[in-house]
Chain A
């Protein structure tokens, strides 16, 4: 019975998904009778489609170890960190520079595209005290930009970089049943990319700057390929009906067992797969409520996924990687959980 209700609700979701405002597609209230779901109006989505572009990263020369080291040295020269990063390893096309002196310090760079993560180490931040002279949330974005300029990593096209979040890293300690301290350690500034008015999401196209004591550069993530735009013919895009159907399938796959599902947002974005392809997709976030632990009636475990807009996407999306994974075994100690055919919404993955 519950299952049937869930499925009706999911049918409601999929028919309501591309309704009302097609760019920011919402389902505010799934409890409404299905006949109350409005007729889809796609005009705005069609306008968006007319200017839809796809992007490819401009190929870069593959880095060797010495050029990767030179890049790291350049950052070190323009910053204050003193970690020698004397150990170098190769892993999955990346050079990983590290230091036995502090195993949290790393310079991890992708040789194929130069995307990197730098962490200058947290050992010196591990004391029971707050970092001195941390920038305020208001000061941090400007300071982060200064570090990007100093190190030469501020993107050339300033219109593309937008402030996404100012956060940080804290540490707290408890002893003998009581809290004995709560300390501010780092301030984190995250920048997103916007191309042609659309936010870029996915593994690529992001810059994160970690600020430490006295506002020093503690760490950086830089994954910002230069890109070339290509326009897309209308025939390359899926129809509204295809998007709706695929969204329904994905919802069933991700949240088919939920007691209730409410779409929080569904909007057109650009998906950067981190491998040089950026293309349009619908990013769906839904609140999926499940029967909770004994102390709670239900819990919300949100689901989110991408529906490619292209009929033949070139980007590698998360759901495409699922086919590569191996299924686990049932645990022989007790009769293992065996999902029935009726419950299996894994969509063949």
Chain B
């Protein structure tokens, strides 16, 4: 039979099904996906990093909310970033570097202490809302070694989201607020991050997210088993 004749019938069937679902499924207030969340504000004096962090964590009954310090990400991370399920940092950045007040933290060596990197304790998702931190193949051919090297931060963490370009400061409050609301609603993590950038970004910034490939479809509501601490298998999604 001619498939083109079947297409309208299928569309009508789908429409009827959707309408039926609407009638039988009442909208309910969003179900809170709430585990352990931490917010870390990278700067008091170099722009407003406070509001975008707050706009993310206010969606949850958050557990930590601090001015960012380097030890939260490296030598004491088992009590800070790696104690949380979802961490959100806002501040200045450079490839594999974030700035905690006046001190830069090199993520290529942040896993060198006894606390190791992120994920060996608890962390699943970390968002680094800062310029240029997550370099893609468009910026550098070896975009991966920095994350999974011996002293890197990928020690069981599922996904790290960020930007491969500059991040517009005039949009950051809206991006983080929307992203937080979607995460709370159980959306897939890096996909919601990119949705937020597309929806509220000014069109100049481009998101990037690195992850252990089997964790690609993770949401904050349902996520896969923790990756091994030692692995060198990585996937990056990046916007053009």
Interfacial residues, chain A to chain B (CB-CB below 8 A): 65-66, 69-70, 72-73, 76-77, 82, 84-92, 95-96, 98, 102-104, 106, 108, 117, 119, 122-123, 126, 164-165, 167-177, 179, 182, 185, 188, 190, 192, 201, 203, 206, 208, 221, 223, 253-258, 274, 283, 288, 290, 292-294, 296, 299-306, 318-319, 321-322, 324-331, 333-334, 336-337, 339, 343-346, 349
Contact = CB atoms under 8 A, between A and B. Distances in A.
Contact of A76 (B11, B187, B213): B11
Contacts of B221: 103
A98 B185 contact: yes
B46 A258 contact: yes
B208 to A, nearest CB: 10
B181 A322 contact: no
A208 B196 CA distance: 12
A161 B51 CA distance: 32
Contact of B235 (A91, A171, A221): A171
Interface string B215-240: 01101011000000000111111111
A96 B39 CA distance: 25
A342 B119 CA distance: 39
Contact of A318 (B27, B101, B174, B185): B174
Contacts of B137: 170, 172, 179, 182
Query: Which 10 pairs across A and B sit closest by C-beta, in order of nearness?
Result: A104-B191, A174-B144, A325-B54, A69-B22, A104-B188, A167-B240, A293-B104, A103-B219, A337-B101, A103-B188
A196 B24 CA distance: 46
Nearest to B99: A290
A127 B26 CA distance: 35
B159 interface: no
Contact of A91 (B46, B144, B181, B195): B181
B131 interface: yes
A323 to B, nearest CB: 9
B50 interface: yes
Interface residues of B, number: 98
Given A66-B22, A253-B48, A257-B45, A328 B65 contact: yes
Given A255-B46, A334-B69, A173 B174 contact: no
Given A89-B185, A117-B199, A254-B169, A177 B44 contact: no
Interface of B: 11-12, 14-15, 17-19, 21-23, 25-31, 39-41, 44-48, 50-51, 53-55, 58, 65-67, 69, 71-72, 76, 79-80, 92-94, 97, 99, 101-102, 104, 106, 131-132, 136-137, 141-145, 148, 166, 168-171, 173-174, 181-182, 184-188, 191-192, 194-195, 198-200, 202-203, 206, 213, 216-217, 219, 221-222, 232-240
Residue among B18, B50, B144, B233 facing the most chain A CB atoms (10 A cut-off): B18
Contacts of B58: 326
Given A117-B195, A182-B137, A345-B45, A331 B72 contact: yes
Contact of A325 (B21, B50, B186, B187): B50
Contacts of A95: 27
Given A91-B181, A117-B195, A331-B72, 5 more contacts: A123-B217, A173-B235, A292-B104, A301-B46, A322-B48
Contacts of A253: 47-48
A171 B239 CA distance: 9
Residue among A65, A87, A164, A331 facing the most chain B CB atoms (10 A cut-off): A331
A321 B51 contact: yes
A337 B67 contact: yes
B131 A302 contact: yes
A334 B71 contact: yes
Contacts of B236: 171-173
Contacts of A349: 48
Main secondary structure of the interface of B (DSSP, over half): mixed
A31 B120 CA distance: 49
B113 to A, nearest CB: 14
Contacts of B238: 169-172
A302 to B, nearest CB: 5
Contacts of B148: 174
A174 B234 contact: yes
Contacts of B31: 89
Given A77-B11, A327-B50, A337-B67, A168 B239 contact: yes
A73 B15 CA distance: 5
Residue among B30, B46, B101, B239 facing the most chain A CB atoms (10 A cut-off): B46
Contacts of B206: 167
B47 A303 contact: yes
Given A88-B27, A208-B198, A301-B131, A344 B97 contact: no
Contacts of B29: 89-91
Contact of A337 (B44, B79, B240): B44
A304 B168 contact: yes
A136 B173 CA distance: 34
A165 B206 CA distance: 12
